[in-house]
Amino acid sequence: MVTPGSRDPWRVIWRIATSDVVLAILLVGIAALLLLMTWLPQRPSADPMAYSRWLAEAQARFGAFTPWLQRAGMLTLSSSLGFRTLLALLGGSLLLRVIEGLVQLRGELPGQEVSGWRLRLRHWPWSRTFLLVAQSGGLLFLIGLLINSLWGWEVNGLIVQRGERTVLPGTGGWVALGEMTQQVIHSHGLTVHIDERGPGVQACARNEADEELMLQYAAEAEPAGRLNLPLTLDQYFAVPDASLIVRLIPQHEGRPSATDPVLVQVYRVPSGQLAVESVLQGDGEVRVDGVTLYFTAAPYARLTVVHNPALGLICFALALLLFGLAGELLCTAQAVRAQDD
Amino acid sequence: MVPTVIFAGLACGMLLAVGGMAAWGFYQPAPAFFRPVGTVRWMVGALLLASACSAWVAGYDFYHVLPRLLLAAAAIAPPRAGEHQPHPLRYALSLALSLIPAGVGLYLAISLGANPPAYRVPLSLREIVVAAGSGVGARVLEGVIVSLIAHSMRDDSSGDVLLCGADAVLALLPGVLWFVNLLQYGKVWAGERIEVHLFSAWVIWHAARLTQSYHLWLHRALLASAGLVFVLAGL
């Protein structure tokens, strides 16, 4: 029972939870952890290659301190209980502030005695409304991020060549590159960004009798009549029946582009002697020892594919947040001007 | 890089001249004297801005330290509102805080010479946010340092034209960047370290705005932190 003079503990908790200082502390705590995360390399979640790269980088940077940092949880901050607790507290604080804002807004709305929409607009508590909109935007933004972290996924560095349709394993999604490599076609619900474009070729070989020769990309690979080779780096393939090795070298300075020329070098096996060297610009062919190698330009694109199930919600939340902040800034500026006058 | 050196050199020279004129103004108390000095300081700001832009044209994007330093100096150079009768220590500090980055920027422009980076992407929204953040962050940081060292507890930031505009820019511009990221990449941050720095600075900036009317020290500390993170973002 709340006796007169005593303080209701729930009321005190409510007041603390909705205070500006607590919100500021939560925001600063989250910002500090985010800054720390950019300084300390954070452990990647699943990819074993990325994990070994991360471990090598961490050991090179921190040496003997790496295990200590790992034990202290400094290299897994993004998935740490502390960071999640801060986000949850921020969400809770924003929720309480929205509820409180709604109640206060209801109390401040112009009454029935104010007639006419112009007068009602003039008496409308704009500052509180904008604050409420911004806080609602912030809350929805957090909910959107939560949904995305639970059900969203991202594939980085996916290489797709022109004419290929790549199915993303385990997701049901697919991506394909358009004819001009400027455009990516993809399944519904994906956002695809082209990080890099570069040259690539589709290769095949024929002998003097116009028979197709098999090509082999690696010793353990199955021989194939046609090979698709994205030229992210130098690429090699063999023509076992003609005892030839072909090396393809993309020629570019700085960032690669889809139209970069490609240097083709053909070596005899087992002597290792260079038989032919030629520069390809687009489609072309190279003849050596009665074998014709045909190259068709098939540029590649390095893609980042994102599935964000809360994309619409986050966009809406961001729009609310920005609208609320802009309105609140305007109200503050007007209040300052009125105070100065 | 020649225009950068010329603009920055002129600005440094004019800043030194402003220092001399201000010293004379304090020696022979003449409040009217600070009005033309203030105009000269605005001109210095414009020259430094021109030098930062010419460095960008020469190949140094706004992620590079050179245009960032020149931008910071450009943002600090203009006088604050109500500085027609300034406090000598505050005025000297303010000038010094503009002269230091301008001088270092001039030295860098000379030492880097005509060797700009080989490749530069076109001006992106992220770069604009970084540039705006650097300038505003430097201005905020300068205000806090001057207030702390000159022991002035009066918060005079409300009258600062640059800061009022900056408040709006910093509140909204990063949000627009995330909006663009969402449409372009499907996620709020495009995976760059600099974007997390910008977000952190933005969050601290808003935390500072929340404490504006309660705790002046906390407000200033948060403002300084936000300014510092904005200035150093991605460096």
Give the mean model confidence (pLDDT) for residues A87-109. Answer: 91
Chain B contact for A148, CB < 8 A?
Answer: yes
What is the mean pLDDT of the segment spanning B199-218?
Answer: 86
Cα angle value A224/A230/A234 (rounded, 5°) = 95
Nearest CA in chain B to A131: B210
d(CA A268, CA A278): 15
Cα-Cα-Cα-Cα torsion B7, B10, B16, B18, nearest 10 degrees, comes to: -90
Per-position b or e across B205-220, b if 16+ CB within 10 A of its CB: bbbbbbbbeeeeebbb
Q: Is A186 on the interface with B (CB under 8 A)?
A: no
| A254 dihedral zone (left: phi>0; alpha: psi -120 to 50; beta) | left
Distance (Å, whole) CA A247 – CA A234: 7
Nearest CA distance, B184 vs chain A (angstrom):
7
Please check whether residues B66 and B154 belong to one and the same domain. no
Shared domain for B95 and B78, answered yes or no, is yes
In Å, how far is A23's CA from the nearest CA of chain B? Answer: 7
What is the average pLDDT value for chain A, to the nearest integer?
A: 87
What are the tens digits of pLDDT across the range A34-47?
999 988 888 877 67
Same domain, B138 and B103: no
Say if the Cβ atoms of A322 and B186 lie within 8 Å: no
Q: For an interface test with B, give the residue of A22, A25, A33, A38 to mutate (most B CBs within 10 A).
A: A38
Q: Give CA–CA dist A109/A1, Å, rounded.
A: 33
Which residues of chain B make contact with A31, given a CB cutoff of 8 A? 199-201, 203-204, 207, 229
The identity of residue A163, as a single letter, is G
In this complex, is the C-beta atom of A94 within 8 Å of any C-beta atom belonging to chain B?
no
B2 and B108 in one domain?
yes
pLDDT surpassing 50 at residue A1? no
Partners of A244 in beta bridges: A239, A268
CA B217 to chain centre: 22
Nearest CA in chain B to A23: B207
For residues A286-310, average pLDDT: 91
Which residues does chain A have within 8 Å of residue B118's beta carbon, measured at their own beta carbons? 253-254
- Whether A318 has its CB under 8 Å from any CB of chain B: the answer is yes
In this model, does residue A2 exceed pLDDT 50? no
Determine the Cα–Cα distance for residues A62 and A68; give it in Å rounded to an integer: 10
The answer to whether the Cβ–Cβ distance between B210 and A20 falls below 8 Å is yes
Tens digit of each residue's pLDDT (9 = 90 or more) over A130-187: 999 999 999 999 999 999 989 998 888 889 988 788 888 877 889 988 776 668 888 8
- Specify which residues A211 forms β-bridges with: none
How many residues make up chain B in this entry? 235
Which pLDDT value is given to residue A249? 93
State residue B152's pLDDT score.
Answer: 54
Per-residue pLDDT of A48-57, as tens digits, reads: 777 888 888 8
Residue with tokens 């600090």: B76
Look at residue B153 in the predicted model and tell me its pLDDT.
Answer: 46
The answer for residues whose C-beta is within 8 angstroms of residue B148's C-beta and 6 or more apart is B220
Query: Last residue of some domain: B90, B113, B136?
Result: B113
Q: How far is CA A315 from the centre of its chain?
A: 15
Q: Do B106 and B3 lie in a common domain? A: yes
* pLDDT at res. A180: 65
Instruction: Tell me if A193 and B185 make a contact (CB, 8 A cut-off).
Output: yes
Q: Are residues B193 and B86 in the same domain?
A: no
Residue B203 sits at the chain A interface (C-beta within 8 Å): yes
Q: Is residue B182 within 8 angstroms of chain A, CB to CB?
A: yes
Contact A325 B172 (CB under 8 A): yes
Distances from the Cα of B68 to the Cα of A116, A243, A323, angstroms: 53, 58, 29
* Nearest-angstrom CA–CA distance, A53 and A66: 14
pLDDT tens by residue, B122-165: 778 888 888 888 888 898 888 888 888 776 544 455 555 556 66
Render A16-71 in DSSP notation, one character per residue. Answer: HHT-HHHHHHHHHHHHHHHHHHHHSPPPPSS-HHHHHHHHHHHHHHHTTHHHHHHH
Q: What confidence score (pLDDT) does residue A319 get?
A: 93
Domain end among B57, B79, B113: B113
**Same-domain check for residues B130 and B218:** yes
- Average of per-residue pLDDT across B193-221: 86
Does A304 reach chain B within 8 Å, measured CB to CB?
yes
Dihedral angle over CA of A249, A251, A255, A257, nearest 10: -90
Last residue of a domain, which of B61, B95, B113? Answer: B113
Contacts by A222-229, CB closer than 8 A, 24 or more apart: A226/A202, A227/A202, A227/A203, A228/A161, A228/A163, A228/A164, A228/A200, A228/A201, A228/A202, A228/A298, A229/A200, A229/A201, A229/A202, A229/A203
Q: Name the residue among B119, B185, B204 with its Cβ closest to that of A306.
A: B185
Number of domains comprising chain B:
2
Average pLDDT, chain B: 83
For A38, nearest residue in chain B (alpha carbons): B193
B186 in contact with A, Cβ within 8 Å: yes
Nearest by CB to residue A38, choosing from B193, B215, B222, is B193
Q: Does residue A306 belong to the interface with chain B, where contact is any CB pair within 8 Å?
A: yes
pLDDT > 90: percent of chain B: 20
Q: pLDDT-derived band of residue A218, with 50, 70 and 90 as boundaries?
A: confident
Q: Are residues B234 and B188 part of one domain?
A: yes
Q: What is the mean pLDDT of residues A14-20?
A: 90
Chain A residues in contact with B201 by the CB 8 A cut-off are 31
Lowest mean pLDDT among A9-13, A71-75, B155-159: B155-159
The verdict on a CB contact (< 8 Å) between B179 and A31 is no
B128 lies in the same domain as B57: no
SS3 B226: helix
Is A308's Cβ below 8 Å from some Cβ in B? yes
* Same domain membership, residue B72 and residue B28: yes
Question: B54 with B139, same domain?
Answer: no
Q: Tens digits of per-residue pLDDT, A183-202?
A: 888 888 899 988 888 999 99
CB-based contact B179 A20, cutoff 8 Å? no
B101 with B140, same domain? no
- Using CB atoms, pick whichever of A23, A34, A190 lies closest to residue B200: A34
Which residue of A306, A319, A329 is in closest CB contact with B187? Answer: A306
Interface predicted TM-score (ipTM): 0.85
* Helices and strands, number each (H, E), in chain B: 8, 0
Residue B85 reports pLDDT greater than 60: yes
Task: Using CA coordinates, name the residue in chain A closest to B177.
Answer: A318
Alpha-carbon span A92 to B46, nearest angstrom: 46
Single out the residue of A317, A325, A327 nearest to residue A91, CA to CA.
A317
* CB contact B178 to A (< 8 Å): yes
Whether omega for the bond prior to residue B101 falls within 30 degrees of 0, making it cis, is no
Classified as helix, coil or strand, B108 is helix
| Residue of higher predicted confidence among B11 and A259 | B11
pLDDT of A74: 86
Q: Give pLDDT, residue B92.
A: 86
Range of the domain at B189: 121-235
A225-268 confidence digits (pLDDT tens): 898 899 988 999 999 888 899 999 999 877 888 888 999 999 99
Q: Is the dihedral of CA B7, B9, B13, B19 positive or negative?
A: positive
